[in-house]
Amino acid sequence: MTAAFATDDGTSFVRRHFGDAEFYDLYEISASEAKFLKRIDNTTDDDEDEGKHGDPNKAKGVTGILKKEGVTVAVSRVFGPNLERIKRKFLCITFKQGSIKESIGTLQENFSALVDEWAKGEERDSIRL
């Protein structure tokens, strides 16, 4: 699975919504290994949401950026009102605490459950770990 981690520094999650991260660090993750692929810029414009919280255009922009990269898993500390839109395209996972490195280990430990949830398609639930 290719996972996108919402970050500003590559070490920790942003404390803002997933769509407000400066970058997404992409990792290929399996039950046995994790490989950093690359960092991509969040190129959605801040003015796209025109002050509206949960603007569908913002969700569409972030989704487009990540789908081009083959992302299947979106990982963050916080998701906003667009969670319902984004979880149709990605398996959304929320971590309350910890670093990106620690969360990768947790994803690996729960890999088969994540695959099962992803297989539910647009009816999948978001996950809190």
User: For position 54, what pLDDT does the model report?
Assistant: 74
Angle at CA of residue 22, ends 18 and 24, nearest 5°: 65
- Categorize the per-residue pLDDT at 48 as very low, low, confident or very high, splitting at 50, 70 and 90: very low
Residue 118 to residue 126: CA distance in whole angstroms: 10
Boundaries of every domain in the chain:
2-128
Which CATH code, of 3.40.50.10860, 1.20.120.1200, 3.40.190.120, 3.30.420.130, is assigned to 2-128? Answer: 3.30.420.130
52: pLDDT confidence band, cut at 50, 70 and 90? low
Residues 85-124: tens digit of each pLDDT: 999 999 999 998 889 999 999 999 999 999 999 999 999 9
Residue 53: the pLDDT is 63
pLDDT tops 90 at residue 55: no
| Phi, psi torsion values for 94, nearest 5 degrees | -110, 130
pTM: 0.92
Spatial distance between the Cα atoms of 62 and 121, rounded to a whole number of angstroms: 19
pLDDT (0 to 100) of residue 60:
92
